[in-house]
A and B are shown apart, each in its own frame.
Chain A
Amino acid sequence: GENVEQHPSTLSVQEGDSAVIKCTYSDSASNYFPWYKQELGKGPQLIIDIRSNVGEKKDQRIAVTLNKTAKHFSLHITETQPEDSAVYFCAATPGSNFNKFYFGSGTKLNVKP
């Protein structure tokens, strides 16, 4: 099945700086790559997603890039704010079964005021 690896496991940045979280995947046929934000005591919440026919997608301070050749995708958060502090997960759906989701191990982002 699909294997998704996520780095770093923890990330600490100063408020206003940018943060980048990277994920790699193994199934070259995967075509849907969502990112989730999980705040303490809550369920993951979808913040942005990208499909394999697109190289980049932006939504205000958040952007995701996809490199299909290298099989990696990244989450970029600009002008970080303390409320961005959370655990972030990437995921991928394998080309053989779009009903399955494989998640990365998570990145704990700490934005220091």
Chain B
Amino acid sequence: EAQVTQNPRYLITVTGKKLTVTCSQNMNHEYMSWYRQDPGLGLRQIYYSMNVEVTDKGDVPEGYKVSRKEKRNFPLILESPSPNQTSLYFCASTGVGLRQYFGPGTRLTVT
């Protein structure tokens, strides 16, 4: 089954404690993205990757890092999380014709 998986699904952490949210896709897509979803703001793109070792900033990259060492994986790293990064995060994989497939989401709370 074609899918995008994210882990963990829920995470509560404290300010400043580094964390990583993993994302994996099994569709052999070159292009992947990370988004955050906040009430009233829709989804905002954090980072995207066009291929292995090729990443670029989206609209809201501050406070986040990404890496793309393998085609199937695209982890999101928060090196020093702050409360304003409390949000719902989605990973997406883009296939033919720019059609995006989203993961189930990771709800992050930073206290």
Check if B100 sits within 8 Å of A99, measured CB to CB.
no
Which of B48, B58, B100, B104 contacts A34 (CB under 8 A)? B100
Check if A103 sits within 8 Å of B98, measured CB to CB.
no
Check if B105 sits within 8 Å of A34, measured CB to CB.
no
- Interface hits, B39-81 → A, CB 8 Å: 40-45, 48, 50, 56, 58-59
Which of B4, B42, B48, B59 contacts A89 (CB under 8 A)? B42
B-chain residues with CB within 8 Å of residue A45 when the two chains form the complex: 102
Bits for A31-44, please: 1 = Cβ < 8 Å to B, else 0. Answer: 01010100001111
Check if B102 sits within 8 Å of A93, measured CB to CB.
no
A43 to B31 CA separation, bound complex (whole angstroms): 18
B-chain residues with CB within 8 Å of residue A36 when the two chains form the complex: 100, 102
Check if B102 sits within 8 Å of A43, measured CB to CB.
yes
Which of A44, A100, A105 contacts B102 (CB under 8 A)? A44
A104 to B102 CA separation, bound complex (whole angstroms): 16
CB of A92, distance to nearest CB on chain B (Å): 11
A-chain residues with CB within 8 Å of residue B48 when the two chains form the complex: 99-100
Check if A42 sits within 8 Å of B59, measured CB to CB.
no
A103 to B90 CA separation, bound complex (whole angstroms): 13
20 pairs from A and B in contact (CB 8 Å cutoff): A1-B59, A34-B99, A34-B100, A36-B102, A41-B104, A43-B90, A43-B103, A43-B105, A44-B100, A45-B102, A46-B99, A46-B100, A99-B31, A100-B48, A102-B59, A103-B35, A103-B42, A103-B43, A103-B44, A104-B42
Q: Which residues on B are within 8 Å of A, measured CB to CB?
A: 4, 31, 33, 35, 40-45, 48, 50, 56, 58-59, 90, 92, 97-105
